[in-house]
Amino acid sequence: MAAAADPSIAFIVMMAGSTVPGDQILVEQLRLIEQADGASKEKVAKDAAHEQELLALVEKEKDDAVLYKELHEKLAADGMPAAQMGGQIKAISSPWYRYFLTYDPATALRKVACPVLAINGSLDLQVTPAQNLPAIREALENGGNKHYEVDELPGLNHLFQTAKTGTPSEYGEIEETISPVALDKMASWILKQ
């Protein structure tokens, strides 16, 4: 957004940047994390459909009181403990969250004229390379940007750490802050700019 609005920005590096609306990101994230954690296909499909339903409700319902009531009913029916419910409802009905669900980052990316490096880890289950890297490439091409590189870095997770599964539960077990592969990729690209 900043690079689209400010022509003085020399270049940008997108690290695990999303380029599809947040509702799509969150459903895919849930699906992939549950699969990696060993959930059955049926459970994954059911939970993804449920997530889509909740997100659609948050996007559609503009009346906060009605939204709170409907979310409360749905989460209670799902067995969420009452102690967690208030915080969860507050988070998913916040103005930022509502904006995130519907904002399409590709609209800003199509306006970026400066050089762009977009990287994702192949094991990123939160902002998946399969969902986002082609969208980044397409947005830049559609906007006429000829100075970009889009790359998927093998074996790295969302935090650009060398990982086994890419699941968020693995993050705390990894001692590496960021992979030298990611650092080298960014450094060499930046030096070329």
3-state secondary structure of 152: strand
Q: How is residue 28 written in tokens?
A: 């895919």
Q: In the prediction, which pLDDT does 42 show?
A: 96
Is residue 136 classed exposed, middle or buried when 0-12, 13-18 and 19+ CB atoms within 10 A define those classes? buried
Asked whether the beta carbons of 178 and 187 are under 8 A apart, the reply is no
What integer pLDDT is reported at residue 180 of this predicted model?
98
- SS3 per residue for 81-104: CHHHHHHHHHHHCCHHHHHHHHCC
CA dihedral of 15, 21, 27, 32, whole degrees rounded to 10: -30
Q: Where are the domains of the chain?
A: 2-20+104-192, 22-102
Q: 117: which strand partners?
A: 13, 149
Beta-bridged to residue 121, according to DSSP, are 153
> Model pTM?
0.88
Question: What is the reported pLDDT for 75?
Answer: 85
pLDDT at 112: 97
Rounded average pLDDT per 10-residue block, the chain, 193 residues: 94 96 96 94 94 92 88 85 85 91 96 98 97 97 97 98 95 96 98 96
- For domain 2-20+104-192, give its CATH number from 3.20.20.70, 3.20.10.10, 3.30.565.10, 3.40.50.1820: 3.40.50.1820
Give the pLDDT score at 86. 85
